[in-house]
């Protein structure tokens, strides 16, 4: 089928838990694969995305590489979606926001218990950390938000099927209440 909907996914400062939850749509993945083609994604190992319809972003933005990846997605995806608590609010990684970055790095690489050969890594291949972890909508324009930690498989399914079938996505209350 030539005109499949192209979907790209990535995890920035996330734990891949949202991706795991996405995979929990189980056998519905086959149904999805009939109309969807995956571009850049941990599922495909494609390194860069090109001309996609939907981009799903898990995790917040903690370093310079996250910014570049996020911008690549924004440039190449018609619809960009913040998936899960970390993408929406910064989540768990953002807990470091209350501690100055200098203290974090000192603890991890210089003064911490059990640190051998203390040295701040400085290889130019390594992305630099931002002072704070940011939700992705503070860096680029985001079109939709899927709440949850992680969003359930049914949330992914409902959201994607709505979009694919040309409806404005909407999540019923049962899918977004958590107690």
Partner 1 sequence: MRQFIQGIAENNHYQATRLLQMLRQIQSRYHYIPEAAIEQLAGLLNIPRTQIISVVEFYSFFHLSPRGQYELLISDSITDHMLGKKNLLGYLADKLAVAVGQVREDGVVSLDNTSCTGMCDQGPAGLVNGYALTRLDRSKIDKIAELINQQKPLEEWPSELFQVDDNILKSGLLLDQQFEQGAALKSALKRGVKETLAEIDKSGLRGRGGAGFKTAMKWQFCSEEQQTERYVVCNADEGEPGTFKDRVLLNSYADQVFEGMTVCAAIIGAKQGFLYLRGEYLHLYDKLQDILEQRRRNGVLGNNIQDAGVDFDIEICLGAGAYICGEESALIESLEGKAGIPRNRPPYPVTQGYLGKPTVVNNVETFLAAAGIAVNGGDWFANIGTEKSKGTKILSISGDCTRPGIYEYPFGVTVQTILNDCGADDVLGVQIGGPSGTFISNQEFDRKLAFEDLATGGSFIIFNASRNILDMVHNFTHFFAHESCGFCTPCRVGTSLLQKQVDKIVEGHGSAGDVVALEELCQLVKNYSHCGLGQTAANPILTTLQRYPDLYQSRLKEISYEPGFDLDGALETARRMANRDDAGAHLAQTQMESEHE
Q: How far apart are CA 172 and CA 58, in angstroms?
A: 21
Among 44, 78, 102, 112, binds partner 1 (CB under 8 A): 102
Please classify residue 53 by burial: count the beta carbons closer than 10 Å to its beta carbon, then call 0-12 exposed, 13-18 middle and 19+ buried: middle
Q: How far apart are CA 73 and CA 40, in angstroms?
A: 9
Q: What length is written for the chain?
A: 179
Contact 92, 50 (CB under 8 A): no
Tokens standing for 28?
């519905």
Among 43, 92, 105, 149, binds partner 1 (CB under 8 A): 105
Give the other-Cβ count within 10 Å of 173's Cβ: 6
Distance in Å from the first CA to the final CA of the chain: 42
Please classify residue 18 by burial: count the beta carbons closer than 10 Å to its beta carbon, then call 0-12 exposed, 13-18 middle and 19+ buried: buried
CB nearer to partner 1: pick between 46 and 99: 99
Stretch that binds partner 1, among 39-47, 52-60, 124-132, 144-152 (CB under 8 A): 124-132
CB nearer to partner 1: pick between 44 and 131: 131
Least gap, CB of 104 to partner 1 (angstroms): 10
Tokens standing for 105?
């790095």
What does the per-residue mask of binding to partner 1 show for 39-68, with x meaning CB under 8 A?
-------------------------x--xx
CB nearer to partner 1: pick between 105 and 164: 105
Least gap, CB of 143 to partner 1 (angstroms): 10
What does the per-residue mask of binding to partner 1 show for 5-44, with x meaning CB under 8 A?
----------------------------------------
CB nearer to partner 1: pick between 10 and 21: 10
Q: Which residues bind partner 1 (CB under 8 A)?
A: 64, 67-68, 71, 74-75, 100-102, 105, 120-122, 124, 126-132, 134, 138-141
């Amino acid at each position: 089928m030539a005109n499949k909907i192209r979907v790209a996914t990535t995890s920035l400062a996330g734990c891949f838990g949202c991706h795991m939850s996405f995979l929990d749509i189980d056998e519905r993945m086959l149904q999805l694969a009939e109309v969807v083609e995956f571009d850049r994604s941990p599922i495909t190992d494609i390194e860069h995305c090109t001309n996609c319809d939907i981009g799903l972003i898990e995790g917040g933005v903690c370093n310079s590489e996250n910014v570049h990846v996020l911008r690549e997605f924004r440039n190449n995806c018609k619809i960009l979606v913040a998936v899960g608590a970390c993408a929406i609010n910064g989540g768990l990684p953002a807990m470091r926001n209350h501690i100055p970055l200098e203290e974090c790095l000192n603890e991890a690489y210089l003064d911490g218990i059990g640190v051998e050969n203390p040295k701040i890594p400085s290889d130019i291949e390594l992305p630099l950390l931002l002072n704070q972890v940011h939700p992705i909508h503070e860096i680029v324009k985001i079109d939709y938000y899927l709440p949850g930690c992680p969003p359930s498989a049914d949330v992914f399914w409902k959201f994607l099927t709505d979009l694919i079938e040309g409806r404005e996505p909407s999540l019923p209350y049962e899918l977004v209440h958590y107690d």
